[in-house]
Amino acid sequence: MPKSLKTADEIEGMRQACRLASEVLDMLTPHVQPGITTREIDRIAHEYMTQVQQAVPATLGYQPPGYPPYPASLCTSLNEVVCHGIPDDRPLKHGDIVNIDVTVIKDGWHGDNSRMYLVGETSIAARRLCAVTFEAMWKGIVKVRPGVRLGDIGHAIQTHAEHAGFSVVREFCGHGVGRKFHEEPQVLHYGRPGTLEELVPGMTFTIEPMINAGKRDIKEDRRGNRPYDGWTIVTRDRSLSAQWEHTVLVTETGYEVLTLSAGSPTPPAFVTPASVAVPA
């Protein structure tokens, strides 16, 4: 499948959509507290995207082949949930960790990002998992430049996560993004240096590692007698899982992180300021 290379005008459209996606997470940050439900977080985000940003929540009604329509305007993946957690009426509690994944469509362009949130007082182990996953994402991002191969990105992420004693989920990956929610290429979060597709300027894709505290194995969430919802994926051993996501542009000389906004978490110390494009 051919990759989509963006023109200068198209990149401007991507910048706007990606900034808005990041600003949704900025807006949600003070709301992520013990006692709030993920359904309420979804309601707040939906109202902000549609009424304030005049944008479209990409996940609402999204239905790839083999899946039911996704029923919410964002994903909330709590504790052992690896990805695609559907917002519900369970209140967040002290010690939880939750990934909130937001994709905004603005003027036909998709901006895709996610962050981890620590709810109240969390364990040292949970904080370390979230921090290492954040670092792993950035280890992949700083590899991005023309001539690098996707295997170099995956190897950097895998090496950092596994050195810390964690494991990398293999069944889900980053992806090209633009006019479509999911485009080529697929961006694996593990791999061998010097392998897979070569990066060229104009490519836009997500880097979004899912890192487990335990083993990398995952399964569908079928707890109790409830039917599978068609989306929620959990760790097989019920260990905690964390994920961070940015949308990245390959530039002529390196990379630009498109999903940055005023409230974005500060990159790790190994990321040189000159290599990160900060929004105006």
Domains for the chain: give ranges and CATH numbers. Answer: 8-275 (3.90.230.10)
Torsions phi, psi of 152, nearest 5? -65, -40
Quick: pLDDT tens for 68-119: 999 999 999 999 999 999 999 999 999 999 999 999 999 999 999 999 999 9
User: What is the model's pLDDT at position 227?
Assistant: 84
Task: List helix spans (H) across 78-149.
Answer: 124-141
pLDDT for residue 280 is more than 90: no
Using left for φ > 0, alpha for ψ between -120 and 50, and beta otherwise, residue 176 falls in beta
Given a cut of 50, whether residue 130 has pLDDT beyond it is yes
What's the pLDDT at 273? Answer: 67
Are residues 196 and 143 in contact, defined by beta-carbon separation less than 8 angstroms?
no
Q: What is the pTM of this model?
A: 0.95
Q: How confident is the model at residue 230 (pLDDT cuts 50, 70, 90)?
A: very high
- Report angle CA 242, 132, 17 to the nearest 5 degrees: 60
272 pLDDT tier (thresholds 50, 70, 90)? confident
3-class DSSP state of 256: strand
pLDDT above 90: residue 224: no
Structure confidence at residue 275 (pLDDT): 53
Q: Report CA-CA distances (Å) from 10 to 13, 23, 278.
A: 5, 20, 18
pLDDT band at 278 (very low <50, low <70, confident <90, very high): very low
Among the listed residues 192, 203, 242, 217, the one whose alpha carbon sits nearest the alpha carbon of residue 85: 242
Q: DSSP string covering 176-189, please?
A: E-SSSSSEEEEE-S
